């Protein structure tokens, strides 16, 4: 049995961190679902930028949208929603079979809104309604301004993938916002079954400390943060507060491990997959990482529910001169800025492509 099937059997969802129209058209996504145990999919502006720039498959729709006088941002969302609706339909059976726990795809709000609560809420609601799929998450960053937007969107019935989380504290803020939104729905007599995942970024920790740590501490901070956050996740979801909400029909927000492709060429290409295996969680992985894990991945057993030696590891890393709390905040800000840059670059590329098609 391939390692992807082993991971699925352990209870962790394998999601593909990629989407292209060619992937949908040529049957590759169906193959991943059927043979590699893939049960969901995530996207971001960088992924769509590469997809649109790297294929002529989008050109007929771009021409139609140009004729309909769509502005560049509107044109992008039309393209993205077209692909993600198809992907969502591919996971429809998984979503039904798991009672809404699995089988999700994700569409991101404009990252330029990361510091604007009201505009994030407005755009997320519009995209959710426009996509019109029960198994589509709207991605909202877990920044200080995003947290109140998440609570309000959950209360409004919008399924949310909380992104840009880098620490246990970031995760707990997202979990609290989700929980408050569910509690408000119950108080208002609404269905509590609104779903969410909390996406914790892993490999960027080790990239940020490359050259600063050595020996047993090198490339250990990302997984240690994952272990620490997983322990907090287990505690949060097993609390009396959440047991009461589950008895009323609510589903806990699942922890999702993101940014799980390795950045250090000295590491195994499956390092963040086998090392972060845990039931009732998600690992969304780049396509190359998924294929590598299918080919030669191994599991080191499920993560310890108490975090194992993570606190000892983090303490040693702090003693070596890394301010972990400050780095978490910096990584979130840097991540936001990187998403903004990717968004602007994607919009520029689409504008260039539309001008080229118009000239042709």
Give the per-residue pLDDT at 301: 83
Token pair recorded at residue 283: 């690992």
Structural contact between residues 126 and 107, judged by C-beta atoms closer than 8 angstroms: no
| Domain coverage including residue 268 | 3-359
Structural contact between residues 182 and 156, judged by C-beta atoms closer than 8 angstroms: no
Beta-bridge partner residues of 13: 282
- Least Cα distance to 50 among 20, 26, 28 occurs for 20
Structural contact between residues 192 and 186, judged by C-beta atoms closer than 8 angstroms: yes
Structural contact between residues 171 and 200, judged by C-beta atoms closer than 8 angstroms: yes
Provide block-wise average pLDDT over 10 residues at a time, the chain (360 residues): 95 98 97 98 93 90 93 95 98 98 97 94 98 98 97 98 98 98 98 98 97 95 98 98 98 98 94 97 98 95 96 98 98 95 92 82
Give the per-residue pLDDT at 42: 98
Let me know if 139 is a catalytic residue. Answer: yes
Give the per-residue pLDDT at 216: 95
- Least Cα distance to 124 among 94, 146, 93 occurs for 146
Furthest C-alpha separation in the chain: 63
Q: Is the pTM of this model over 0.75?
A: yes
Based on the number of CB atoms within 10 Å of its own CB, is 240 exposed (0-12), middle (13-18) or buried (19 or more)? exposed
Q: Return d(Cα 77, Cα 74) in angstroms, integer.
A: 5
- How many CA atoms are closer than 13 Å to the CA of 290, on its beta-carbon side? 25
Give the per-residue pLDDT at 355: 86
Helix runs in 217-296, H state only:
221-237, 240-247, 271-274, 287-296
DSSP structure class, residue 105:
E
Q: Return d(Cα 86, Cα 113) in angstroms, integer.
A: 26
Give the per-residue pLDDT at 357: 85
Structural contact between residues 41 and 66, judged by C-beta atoms closer than 8 angstroms: no
Domains of the chain: total: 1
Give the per-residue pLDDT at 172: 98
Structural contact between residues 294 and 135, judged by C-beta atoms closer than 8 angstroms: no
Which of these is catalytic: 31, 50, 130, 139? 139
Give the per-residue pLDDT at 108: 96
Token pair recorded at residue 294: 């299918």
The total number of residues shown for the chain amounts to: 360
Give the per-residue pLDDT at 1: 84
Residue 341, SS3 per DSSP? helix
Beta-bridge partner residues of 141: 163
Q: Return d(Cα 287, Cα 266) in angstroms, integer.
A: 20
Give me the CATH number covering residue 97.
3.20.20.70
Residue 277, SS3 per DSSP? coil
Give the per-residue pLDDT at 360: 62
């Amino acid at each position: 049995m391939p390692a992807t099937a082993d991971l699925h059997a352990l209870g962790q969802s394998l999601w593909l961190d990629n989407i292209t129209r060619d992937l949908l058209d040529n049957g590759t996504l169906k193959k991943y679902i059927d043979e590699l145990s893939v049960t969901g999919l995530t996207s971001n502006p960088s992924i769509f930028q590469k997809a649109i720039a790297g294929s002529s498959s989008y050109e007929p729709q771009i021409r139609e949208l140009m004729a309909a006088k769509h502005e560049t941002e509107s044109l992008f969302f039309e393209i993205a929603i077209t692909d993600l609706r198809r992907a969502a339909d591919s996971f429809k059976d998984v979503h039904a079979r798991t009672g809404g726990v699995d089988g999700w795809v994700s569409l991101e709000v404009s990252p330029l809104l990361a510091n604007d609560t009201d505009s994030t809420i407005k755009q997320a609601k519009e995209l959710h309604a426009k996509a019109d799929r029960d198994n589509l998450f709207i991605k909202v960053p877990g920044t200080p301004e995003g947290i109140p937007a998440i609570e309000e969107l959950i209360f409004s019935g919008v399924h949310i993938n909380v992104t840009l989380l880098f620490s246990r504290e970031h995760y707990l803020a997202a979990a609290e916002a989700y929980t408050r939104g569910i509690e408000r729905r119950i108080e208002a007599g609404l269905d509590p079954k609104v779903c969410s995942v909390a996406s914790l970024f892993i490999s960027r920790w080790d990239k940020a400390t490359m050259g600063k740590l050595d020996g047993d501490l090198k490339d250990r901070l990302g997984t240690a943060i994952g272990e620490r956050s997983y322990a907090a996740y287990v505690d949060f979801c097993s609390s009396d507060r959440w047991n009461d909400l589950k008895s009323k029909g609510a589903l806990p927000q699942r922890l999702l491990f993101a940014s799980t492709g390795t950045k250090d060429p000295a590491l195994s290409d499956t390092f963040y997959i086998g090392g972060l295996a845990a039931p009732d969680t998600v690992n969304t992985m780049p396509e190359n990482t998924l294929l590598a894990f299918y080919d030669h991945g191994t599991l080191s057993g499920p993560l310890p529910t108490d975090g194992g030696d993570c606190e000892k590891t983090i303490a040693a890393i702090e003693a070596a001169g890394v301010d972990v709390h400050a780095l978490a905040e910096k990584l979130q800000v840097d991540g936001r800025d990187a998403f903004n840059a990717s968004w602007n670059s994607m919009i520029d590329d689409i504008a260039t492509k539309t001008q080229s098609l118009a000239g042709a």
